[in-house]
Amino acid sequence: MPALSTPSATITALRQRVDRAGASHEALVTEVLERARAPEAAHVFTKLYDATALAAARAADEARRGATPPASQPLAGLPVSVKDLFDVAGETTLAGSIVRRGAPPAAADAPAVQRLRAAGAAIVGKTNMTEFAFSGVGINPHYGTPCNPAATAVDGTARVPGGSSSGAAVSVALGLAVAGLGSDTGGSIRIPAALCGLVGFKNTQARTPLAGAYPLAHSLDTVCAMTRSVADCLLVDGVLAGAPLQVARRDGVRGLRLAVPRTLMLDALEPPVARAFERALARLAAAGAVVEEIPLAELAEIASINAPGGFSPVEAYATHRETFATRRADYDPRVAARVALGEKVLAADYIVMQRRRADWIERVRARLAGFDALACPTVPIVAPPIDALVRRPPPDEAASDEAFFKANGLLLRNTFAINFLDGCSFSLPCHEPGEWPVGLMLSAPGGYDAALAGVALAVEGLLGGGG
């Protein structure tokens, strides 16, 4: 029998494959758990949940034998992965760090995990991540770095998956999960989605509960997921939020008004990214979308607003202050360097940052009024080789750190702007088969999730799945 779980399977396609094969959800989950232990999945999971995943699959099989699984269980018996940032009752949430070893176990599942279980998901395991979610690259010196299967296939070089939801992305890219639950503080869902050829949806922060997710920056953190399609993202988002978005589907892209910002987001595009993005815009325009370049000069202000230290370092230091004082040597040095940036920021400076951000959000919302979405590349570069960015001992340490922080800054640059806006955002694959994975990011101000979802569905229908 051919494999039930294939890397290209959406939720609908996977259900149809299981039904056509006369197979069971139990067989599907058994296959996934076996493949999760194969060399190709090295460093993807930090823990596998064989017993509970198989129990959920058997429950779905029993429900199917009686009747169609109830609508309240849209993920019945399907494999889903959970980033090791979320509490699972009875175990310690490591958040990608050795610093958390020995911390008290979680008393209860995070609400996001509870809702996935209630939807019937077979949670197959916890996925690897950047330590404390503090990087867009996806490298973890403690638990290893999963290879990006989509990018590696282009030239055979082991390449980064993107972060911080690295294992989540690779679990979906390898067909080990129909959805990877993760978080997005500065791009941690959309960056790995773009680099791995997936769809990532960063909803408006207030839409999904943050409780039970180890914090990076409470002002920016968002609970969300990546999948194989926009429809799958919306299904999972409805589960996580407790209610689905009321999306008005569009008949094609004709009449869509898309703003392309000339400031910041188009700078330093690598040629494969520029080609894929320009081709996507040309196809949208040819199909009747109105593509308009705008200055959006406000994007250049983000750096100055963050200049006192930045929201992520300040808020991360507030979380880590006690352990940082005694166990800094146990942190990834690159993460420690960023946490330390928040140590000396004055409360007055932080308050000014908050006020300036609020003013900035209102001005950007006004600039985007009348457009259906902001369109730009999700990230300006293709996935870099892992070997080029891992930390090296002296005398190469400084050079490797410089390369890492340069790549990290580029990977986070475009996506972070949408978190700063408290906006909502999709990353859609826009490359052709055999090309480097490239993401097209469609974004809108906070609260416009349903309208943006309609845009994303229409654009996805025109562009296809990115190979």
Tell me the catalytic residues: 83, 164, 188
SS3 for the chain is CCCCCCCCCCHHHHHHHHHHCCCCHHHHHHHHHHHCCCHHHCCCEEEECHHHHHHHHHHHHHHHHHCCCCCCCCCCCCEEEEECCECCCCCCCCCCCCCCCCCCCCCCCCHHHHHHHHCCCEEEEEECCCHHHCCCCCCCCCCCCCCCHHHHHHHCCCECCCCCCHHHHHHHHCCCCCEEEEECCCCCCHHHHHHHCCEEEECCHHHCCCCCECCCCCCCCCEEEEECCHHHHHHHHHHHHCCCCCCCCCCCCCCCEEEEECCCCCCCCCHHHHHHHHHHHHHHHHCCCEEEEECCHHHHHHHHHHCCCCHHHHHHHHHHHHHHHHHHHHCCHHHHHHHHCCCCCCHHHHHHHHHHHHHHHHHHHHHHCCCCEEEEECCCCCCCECCCCCCCCCCCHHHHHHHHHHHHHHHHHHHHHHHHCCCEEEEEECCCCCCCCCEEEEEECCCCHHHHHHHHHHHHHHHCCCC
